[in-house]
Amino acid sequence: MAISSTLTVDEALPRLAGLTVVDVRSPGEFASGRLPGAVNIPLDRVDGSLAELRHAAETGPLLVVCASGARSGKGAAVLASHGIAAASLTGGTRAWAAAGHPLEYPPGPVRRVWGMERQVRFAAGALVLLGLVLGLLVHPAFPLLSAAIAGGLVFSALTDTCGMAVVLGRLPFNRRGPADRG
């Protein structure tokens, strides 16, 4: 079994040319700015891309990246559990950009998409608020919507999965369009 590790921005920068950078964010997030040369394999598709990633790891080290470092840490751990060595970028693309390093964008207008964690927080909060307002204005059973969302959030925390992120990842603005390939 391989061991996953982490690299800081300062450690990754001089090695970038020799690394295969795998960005595990949604395609919409990927299109809103990525490390130079990064390829997009969303976290929920890493298991299905093991053969491709194993081949890439044979030609050089893998650096797994996301917005903040949380999803990339999970991605690197998944790869390690399959015997593929990979490092996660501490702080993700946010830390990379904050350090003044350039991001690549697809040709055409830049699409700014919120990170998946922010999309989930917004959707969950909006649904809880909607359930409470509808409970006051329409029918007293609507707060059950808020309770269902709360239960989903607890389940998400306990299982380290997020069904809402899977659903949001399928929305058009989170999917890769023809202008985002590359």
**Residue 160 Rama label (left phi>0; alpha psi -120 to 50; beta):** left
Is the pLDDT at 38 greater than 50? The verdict is yes
**What pLDDT is recorded for position 3?**
53
Whether 69 and 63 have beta carbons less than 8 Å apart is answered as: no
Domain 5-98, CATH among 3.40.250.10, 3.90.1150.10, 3.50.50.60, 3.40.50.1370: 3.40.250.10
**What pLDDT is recorded for position 172?**
78
Whether 128 and 102 have beta carbons less than 8 Å apart is answered as: no
Helix, coil or strand: residue 62: strand
Query: pTM (2 decimals)?
Result: 0.68
Would you kindly state where each structural domain of the chain is located, as residue ranges?
5-98, 116-180
Secondary structure of the chain: what % helix, strand, coil (to 5)?
A: 55, 10, 35
Q: What is the mean pLDDT of residues 139-143?
A: 93
Range of lowest pLDDT (20-34, 53-67, 159-173): 159-173
pLDDT digits (tens, 9 = 90+) for 147-181: 999 999 898 888 877 888 888 877 777 765 434 43
pLDDT band at 110 (very low <50, low <70, confident <90, very high): low
